[in-house]
Structure 1
Amino acid sequence: MMNEKLKRLLENKKNITAIALVLGCFVFIGSLLPEELTLQRWVAAFFAANALVAMALAFVLSTRLEILETIFRGLDRVYKVHRWAGMWAVFSIFMHWWLVPQSNAPRDDSSLMEIGSDTGEWATWLLLGLVVISFMRILPYHLWKWSHRLMGLVFFISVFHYLFAIRPFQLFSPAGIAMNLTSIVGFVAWWYYAFSKSTSKHHLAKVQNVKKENGVVSFEAKPIQGRPSWNAGQFAFISVLHHQKIGGEPHPFTIASSDHQGIPRFSVAGLGDYTKTLFDHLSNGDMLRLDLPYGRFKLNRQPSPQVWMGSGIGITPFVAWLQELNETSLSRSTSCPNVVLYYLVKNADAAIFAEELQQLTENLPTVSLKVIFSAEGRITPDRIADDLNGNVERAELYFCGNPEVRKMMQEGLEALGMPKNNTHYELFDFRGAI
């Protein structure tokens, strides 16, 4: 079993590239440290540097800058790396605290150097507590957000410790310059995340055309000022403002429309506490703050065979894609992909988008719609291969919905010949623990 997982990891070129970059960073950090150090002091300094770099990286990744989405191919992957950076910071700071040599010389507890040394232990325990809070989801969002802001205090204490505790290198040595720059970048990124995040993506909007059906609330968010722009398939963070029964924390939802009219539409299934509250209490006239656009789940217009699969409410990005294809095919001659679209639902009552999908595919001869009722039998990779007419080797899978279903479809199609890395999806569990 372990050998199979290792083989799959090594076969993924993107994973190999990521591993190579991480190892390269470790080598670079280690190469900056003085060679004359004893092994224990070298390892302790190595982990201290790793802790500072990992915390600064986590702050940079929290800024949601658009360039980060481009580099990591989606905000979900940005936050995945963010979580790993946070865990590595915790591990590194504990390793440094455990390995750093202790001096038997008389202490002057009032000296700046002694205070700097003691702050390392403070940062260790404070970071541990904040990370546990973050990963265990034991606080409501508004308090959780402040716990994340307090990470800046941990970083400040860590930098203070670095500046005033006994160091094995000078401040303006190669290692010192690297850590100085890391400290500056970390502080700027944390400040931007905590207090000065750009509002260029923020739009105030009013809820209209609310429709509730079979546990799903659909609505439009009409901007009060300006006109937001997005690509079909992207998502927005929605905050309901000044509502007595709906919390104001932002939640990500796919935009279930193209941007042709400039009014984003959303459909939300009541699957959790927050979404059930939206279904019960959201009404026309409620005020929203939209933070958009985000995401890299975008329409691929190449004529190669594609499988689009929406599980339940996961059909929404494909509704937006179909709208985009219809609008552009009417306005100009553009290429249209060869698509088999699967809408996976429990039964006919749950297929609330079936009629709209039928209308959207009527004028798209290269798009074949198939509504699959799980109550009558689940879709299989072999069935998909038959619908592709033997073109599995050239196919690409675009999936939105249940991760377990996606994993099963991906593995099954790859076993039938679909190239690895041809599955495209985004995860919305940005706050979730690993």
Structure 2
Amino acid sequence: MKSIKGILFIILIMSGSAFLWYFATPLEPIHAINRLSHIIGGMAITGFFLVFFLATRIKILERWFHGLENVYFYHKYLAIFSLLLVIIHGQLQGLVPRFDKVERTSFSEFAKELGSLGQYGFIALILIALLAKFLKYEHWRIFHRLLLIPYTFGIYHAYFSSRYDLLQPTPLGIFTVITATIGFMSALYMLTMYQDMFFKYNGNITGIKKLGPNVIELELTLDKTLTYRHGQFIFIKILQDGIEKAPHPFSISGGDGKKVIISMKVLGDFTKKVYDAVQLNTPVTLDGPYGHLNFENASQQQVWIAGGIGITPFLSYLQSQPVDRNIELFYTYHGEDNAIYKDFLQEYAQTNQQFRVNFIDTAQMDRLSFEHFSVPVHTSIFMCGPQKMLKHFVKQLKTCNKDLSIHFEAFKFK
């Protein structure tokens, strides 16, 4: 499904910023290049307000963008777009004719210098964020959150180096103070209060089961019931010495709310440490649930596609109740060691005629393809797995079935 509400929200805010800057009246007449520079600089500050606001993970944003992975997608590219606006703003300021430049006080000169520092800070930190795959998650988060510093410099620069009086209660002044305040508070909230306010489910690890050489299942017993929908995921912090304290997302693969089961595959430093060293009775804390997969509200005819550890959100539904609709599952993995819960799925298919499962081991056969796959009318498609794989499948399925209803959860949160 498309992120229509979310996209409209971004367009409305960004176009509103451009409109207000364009029609605002400067303190005195200025050159057209200077005016354009102010408009672009104002849009850059607005763009970074949206970047920080999207990072708060509030539930309404997840609904508007139809999934947290889509929120992060727009968060990332808004940051890149806003950085480009900052650079263009700086270049345009260098083209402003000398006669249009006013004599600066030490106060405004300081604001100008902060603006330059903010620009360099944005460039450095966003480039580091784009190199996420080369960083440990905890280090990436630290650099990511340092964006608050150049953002603060940028706000100060906008207020005290601008040829517009943003301190007056004009439409532009009101818009700027609201967006700057929300942006700053959003960033500050993620730095300080998020860990305490949103991680409100506490518990302990009461079960550990290694499902293979690189997959582990954890049973979490909570102090209060977590109400979730099958197919959703949580962010978990494992509070054990030697294990990174940063929250990580994992799909719920089973449980009843009081007990929650998650399954994780070794894909990095964090999951490797958990697999090797996690202990029983270790305290945990959870945030969530998140996710938009909703098997119950979909059609009676469903096709499920899972890649590797992407089988986990489907397990929650299968283990909770007998299937009451026609479901065909395509489960692709590389090597038998990665075919977790295969025995369970085989037994389930044998005892329930409405459920069929296809196992695709890419170590022994060709990769799964839906290039010529015909989907019956009124069929809902659910997918979970690596982002690149899912995009490939969506493209294939849409080629033959343009009006198909496809729901997916992709593995990519940095």
- TM-score category, normalised to shorter length: 0.7 to 0.9
Q: 1:160 aligns with which of 147, 156, 159?
A: 156
1:380 is matched with which residue? 369
- Output one character per residue of 1:114-142: Cα deviation in whole Å (capped at 9) or x when no partner: 22222211111112122122222365444
Which residue number in structure 1 is paired with residue 229 of structure 2?
A: 231
Query: Residue 339 of structure 1 aligns to a residue in which SS?
Result: strand
Aligned to 2:384: 400
Answer whether contact 1:232 1:321 (CA < 8 A) is retained. Answer: yes
Give secondary structure in 1 for the equivalent of 2:238.
strand
1:35-434 alignment to 2 at 5 Å?
38-100=31-93, 101=96, 103=98, 111-137=106-132, 139-169=135-165, 171-197=168-194, 199-214=197-212, 215-223=214-222, 225-244=223-242, 246-257=243-254, 259-260=255-256, 262-326=258-322, 336-348=324-336, 350-361=338-349, 364-374=352-362, 375-381=364-370, 384-385=373-374, 391-420=375-404, 422-431=405-414
Q: Tell me the equivalent position of 1:332.
A: none
Give the Å deviation of 1:340: 0.7
> Partner amino acid for 2:175?
A
Going from structure 1 to structure 2, the CA distance change for 1:358 and 1:121 (only over 3 Å counts) comes to same
Residues 392 and 417 of structure 1 are in contact (CA less than 8 Å); yes or no, is this contact kept in structure 2? no
Q: Deviations over 1:367-403 (max 9, x none)?
A: 2223333314444326853xxxxx4343332111244
- SS of the aligned residue for 1:248 comes to coil
Unaligned stretches of 5+ in structure 1? 1-12, 330-335, 386-390
Q: Check 1:383–1:338 CA distance in 2 against 1; reply closer, same or farther (3 A cut).
A: farther
Instruction: Give the match's secondary structure for 2:259.
Output: coil
Mapped to 2, the partners of 1:352 and 1:102 lie a distance apart of 67
**Partner Cα separation in structure 2 for residue 337 and residue 34 of structure 1:** 56
Quote the RMSD (CA, aligned, Å): 2.8
Once the two structures are superposed, residues 140-186 of structure 1 have per-residue CA deviations (whole angstroms, 9 ceiling, x without a partner) of: 44443333333222222112112211324553332222112211221
Deviation at 1:85, TM superposition (A): 1.8
Q: Partners of 2:162 and 2:299 in 1: how far apart?
A: 63
SS in 1 for 2:332: strand
The SS at the match of 2:410 is: coil
Structure 2 gap ranges (5+): 24-28
Secondary structure class of the residue paired with 1:425: strand
- CA–CA distance in structure 2, aligned partners of residues 145 and 363 of structure 1: 46
Distance 1:143 1:412 in 2: 37
The code of the aligned residue for 1:117 comes to: K
Partner of 1:29: 17
**Higher mean Cα deviation, 112-121 or 32-41?**
32-41
Same amino acid, percent of matched pairs: 25
Summarize deviations over 1:332-352 as a string: whole Å, max 9, x none: xxxx33211122234555433
1:272–1:357 distance in 2 versus 1, CA, 3 Å? same
- 3-state SS of 2:329 partner: strand
Deviations, residues 69-101 of structure 1 (Å, cap 9, x unaligned): 111111111111111121122111111111123
- 2:4·2:64 contact (CA, 8 Å) conserved in 1? no
Match of 1:388 in 2: none
TM-score of the aligned structures, taking structure 1 as reference length: 0.83
- 1:363–1:38 Cα change, 3 Å: farther
CA positional deviation for 1:207: 1.6
Secondary structure at the aligned position of 1:288 is classed as strand
* SS of residue paired to 2:202: strand
Q: Is the 8 A contact 1:392 1:416 kept in 2?
A: no
Cα gap change, 1:381 to 1:151, in 2 (>3 Å): closer
Specify whether residues 134 and 34 from structure 1 end up closer, same or farther in structure 2 by C-alpha distance, changes over 3 A only: closer
> SS state of the match for residue 411, structure 2?
coil
Q: What number of residue pairs does the alignment pair up?
A: 401
For the residue of structure 2 that corresponds to 1:267, the secondary structure is: strand
